[in-house]
């Protein structure tokens, strides 16, 4: 789970515009340059999502595969869990 922080719409669009995205889905994008690499040597990226009129940034960086694997249902569960924590 990535866990997500709500951010401003301005931050979301600023990050989308700073570099071409590494990947985009219907829910969001990965910033186009890796932040670092994970233990397996795969690049990890800052992740942003838009959901039900709100904007979010992942608390941890994700690989392309991890980001693409997030379903709307999983995202909604993670956001709901963060809001009640």
Give the confidence band of 34 by pLDDT, cuts at 50, 70, 90. very high
Q: What is the pTM of this model?
A: 0.90
Domain enclosing residue 31, as ranges: 4-84
Q: Residue 27: what pLDDT? A: 92
pLDDT tens digits, one per residue of 57-73: 999 999 999 999 999 88
Rounded-to-integer distance, Cα 66 and Cα 17, Å: 22
Q: Is the pLDDT of residue 14 over 90?
A: yes
Rounded-to-integer distance, Cα 51 and Cα 59, Å: 16
At 49, list the tokens.
């999502």
Q: Residue 78: what pLDDT? A: 86
- Total domains in the fold of the chain: 1
Q: Residue 3: what pLDDT? A: 87
């Amino acid at each position: 789970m990535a866990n997500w922080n709500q951010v401003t719409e301005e931050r979301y669009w600023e990050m989308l515009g700073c570099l071409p995205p590494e990947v985009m889905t219907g829910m969001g994008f990965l910033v186009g340059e890796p932040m670092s690499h994970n233990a397996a040597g795969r690049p990890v990226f800052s992740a942003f999502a838009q959901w039900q009129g709100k904007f979010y940034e992942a608390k941890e960086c994700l690989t392309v595969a991890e980001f693409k694997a997030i379903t709307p249902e999983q995202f909604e569960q993670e956001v709901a869990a963060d809001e009640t924590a």
